[in-house]
Amino acid sequence: MERPLKMDKMPKWADVVLIPVISLILAAILSALVIVAIGEDPVEAVNLMVTGALGSTYGWGYTLYYATNFMFTGLAVAVAFHARMFNIGGEGQAMLGGLGVAMVCLYVPWPHWSLALLAACAGAMIFGAAWAAVPAYLQAKRGSHIVITTIMFNFIAAAVLNYMLVNVMRPQGSMDPASARFPEAVHLPTLHELLAPIGISFSKAAPANVTLLVAILACFVVWALIWRTRLGYEIRAYGHSETGALYAGISPVKITMIAMLISGALAGLMATNNVMGEAERLVLNSTEGAGFIGIAVALMGRSHPFGVFLAAILFGFLYQGGAELALWTSIPRELIVVIQALVILFTGALDNMVRMPLEKMFLAMRKGKA
């Protein structure tokens, strides 16, 4: 019997690399058009963004700081994607993670930052996972659509945080709805402090800190989890086929719960970076939309931890570059929101617009060869 036709419509590299890159280029072209339309010079803008975000250790410090956030939320979305769930609740989970971190840092006297970081990670993961637990449970047991419930939980999280900061955690006499500053002992070493001993001078002011390493570690752990463990096998199998999972004795309820809890925990972990590493206190809206950017990051990164890592750095660059634009030009920071929207649009929703012609092309090429 002859070897059957290769049924894949196109090679894997095209799917994993070519399509995202083309989508990204399209998004970039449209972004440039937007910049032109508001009467600015896109070349100039890109210049400013690049020097602002990558031109100094200071810029890198911010880029990596944001990237750390996005790695966590991107991984969160990616893990849920593997189980074919769309977790839009990263924002709320990260907010609650912040609450967990703040409690750990404020209410326990820590002797050293490393212990505090471990405990804060635990707190962040528990709170983030807890916030994902209800939507997960409702999806698993009641079939309530996770997208809607997680959106709702984002709003509810904002209200909870609001209540906690206004009525519970605000120090006596303080006017802002924010927690007290964390004690000096839980101060996390920044890249400046980490790199100084090995002779690299890194900007002192930039907030990138040791949690970057935690995020990179998380990328590895998620990779191993998804592709090297039984649980990952089950998550992927469930994500590909629910009836298949049932057949193989993989409990949909269990996988839905576990995948979402892991996802929530990862989103919650982000708080170790922004709350503990940067602000060193809990403020309203400390997540700054990173939960949503996680969606774009996971889509761009094709839900692979390495892809997520790269996409997070790209978005970190966009974020820091955008902040620079807002500082030095009259281009509002919202330009970044637009770019982010375009990336989600092209890599996510309009994926087929790029894919279909490419598939035709590869098909024609193959037929031409045969």
Ligand X SMILES: Nc1ncnc2c1ncn2[C@@H]1O[C@H](COP(=O)(O)OP(=O)(O)OP(=O)(O)O)[C@@H](O)[C@H]1O
Residues 9-68 that bind other proteins (CB under 8 A): 9, 34, 37-39, 58, 62
Q: For other proteins, which is the closer residue by CB, 108 or 329?
A: 329
Q: What are phi and psi of 338, to 5 degrees?
A: -65, -45
Contact present, 49 and 324 (Cβ < 8 Å) = yes
Q: Tell me the closest approach of the beta carbon of residue 2 to ligand X, in angstroms.
A: 9
Q: For ligand X, which is the closer residue by CB, 7 or 198?
A: 7
Q: For ligand X, which is the closer residue by CB, 7 or 159?
A: 7
Stretch touching ligand X by CB under 6 A, among 1-9, 116-124, 127-135, 188-196: 1-9
Under the binding rule (CB under 8 A), the answer on residue 338 touching other proteins is yes
Question: What three-state secondary structure class fits 283?
Answer: strand
Q: Which does 195 bind (CB under 5 to 8 A by kind): ligand X, other proteins, none?
A: none
Q: Which residues contact 50 (CB under 8 A, 6 or more apart)?
A: 321
Under the binding rule (CB under 8 A), the answer on residue 220 touching other proteins is no
Q: For ligand X, which is the closer residue by CB, 8 or 176?
A: 8
Nearest C-alpha neighbor of 301 from the set 358, 213, 219:
219
Q: Which does 306 bind (CB under 5 to 8 A by kind): ligand X, other proteins, none?
A: none
DSSP 243-310: HHHHHTT--HHHHHHHHHHHHHHHHHHHHIIIIIIIISS-BTTTTTTHHHHHHHHHHHTTT-HHHHHH
Q: For other proteins, which is the closer residue by CB, 75 or 295?
A: 295
Under the binding rule (CB under 6 A), the answer on residue 198 touching ligand X is no
Rule CB under 8 A: which of 165-204 touch other proteins?
165-167, 174-178, 181, 204
Q: Tell me the closest approach of the beta carbon of residue 254 to ligand X, in angstroms.
A: 33
Q: For other proteins, which is the closer residue by CB, 88 or 308?
A: 88
Which residue from 60, 127, 153, 315 is in contact with other proteins, where contact means CB under 8 A? 153
The alpha carbon torsion through 105, 220, 54, 210 (nearest 10 deg) reads 30
Q: How far apart, in whole angstroms, are the C-alpha atoms of residue 198 and residue 291?
A: 34
Q: Residues, the chain, total?
A: 370
Stretch touching other proteins by CB under 8 A, among 109-117, 209-217, 303-311, 319-327: 319-327
CB atoms within 10 A of CB 163: 12
Question: What three-state secondary structure class fits 178?
Answer: strand
Q: Tell me the closest approach of the beta carbon of residue 166 to ligand X, in angstroms.
A: 56
Helix (H) or strand (E) holding 70: helix 57-82
Nearest C-alpha neighbor of 328 from the set 127, 84, 116, 49:
49
Q: Which does 364 bind (CB under 5 to 8 A by kind): ligand X, other proteins, none?
A: none
Largest CA distance in the chain: 83
Nearest C-alpha neighbor of 140 from the set 263, 258, 264, 267:
258
Contact present, 178 and 165 (Cβ < 8 Å) = yes
Rule CB under 6 A: which of 5-24 touch ligand X?
5, 7
Stretch touching other proteins by CB under 8 A, among 43-51, 125-133, 160-168, 307-315: 160-168
Interacting residues with ligand X (CB under 6 A): 4-5, 7
